[in-house]
Amino acid sequence: MDCLYSSLVHGFPEADARRVCQCFTQLGLPLWDEALNDFERVLAGLEEFRQHLGGRLTVTMLRRVGSPLNVHEIDHAAMREAGRRLRALAEQVTPPTPNHRNLTSR
């Protein structure tokens, strides 16, 4: 999801983000987990992580392959869009389960 977010917000090439997802798939790693459907909980987890750090949130994103970028804020709308895109990519590889539901945003 971070690669897709980086492509939306930080200029990471979308083709590279898709290649990362393809690599995960080829390694047999899942792209999606049903826990990601509760997106408010995902965002709350970022806040908990910030508190654990004791202050300023620092998350590593990408400008390009091999070029990390430390960011201190997350655009929630862009992260939701990254989540939607990731789920769509995952569904191309694996059909949705019967419990499939939309990303929630309470």
pTM of the model: 0.81
For the chain, percent helix, then strand, then coil, each to nearest 5? 55, 10, 35
Taking a C-beta distance cutoff of 8 angstroms, is the pair 99, 34 a contact? yes
Q: Which residue in 15, 16, 34, 20 sits closest to 94, CA to CA?
A: 34
Amino acid at 70: N
Kindly tell me the sign of the dihedral angle through the C-alpha atoms of 76, 78, 14, 22: positive
For the chain, percent of residues with pLDDT exceeding 90:
62
Say what the pLDDT of residue 58 is.
85
| CA–CA gap between residue 11 and residue 5 (Å, rounded) | 9
Q: Could you report the per-residue pLDDT of 43-86, keeping only the tens digit for each?
A: 888 888 888 878 788 889 999 999 999 999 899 999 999 999 99
Is residue 100 pLDDT above 70, yes or no?
A: no
d(CA 82, CA 42) in angstroms, rounded, equals 13
Average pLDDT over the chain, rounded to an integer: 87
